[in-house]
Amino acid sequence: MVTYAKEEMVGITEFGKSLGKYLDKVTSNTFNKLAIIRRNKPEAVLIPIQEYENLQRAYDMLEQKDIEKILSSRTEEDEEVSHTKTISIDI
């Protein structure tokens, strides 16, 4: 679970009133992240675009590795069956 310092949390009403101020704090790295609180719980997190792009790239790489793992685990027999399977239909 991620933890947030008190200054890294803002209520949604205050966030809406001072969006520019909070955006500046995140983009200038005054804060690494800003949790937006609604009904006393974090609902969203504002992070710099570079951080988001890094996270997305890492996710994409992990997803690609999972796909490669699945493909490499297929046996030759599995590949042969998938290419030669026929279906009979009685009419």
Give per-residue pLDDT as tens, 68-87: 888 787 765 566 666 666 66
Domains and CATH numbers, the chain: 6-48 (3.40.1620)
CA distance to 69, 70, 75, per residue, from 79 (Å): 15, 12, 7
Predicted TM-score (pTM) of the model is: 0.68
pLDDT, tens only, 6-51: 999 999 999 999 999 999 999 998 999 999 999 999 999 999 999 9
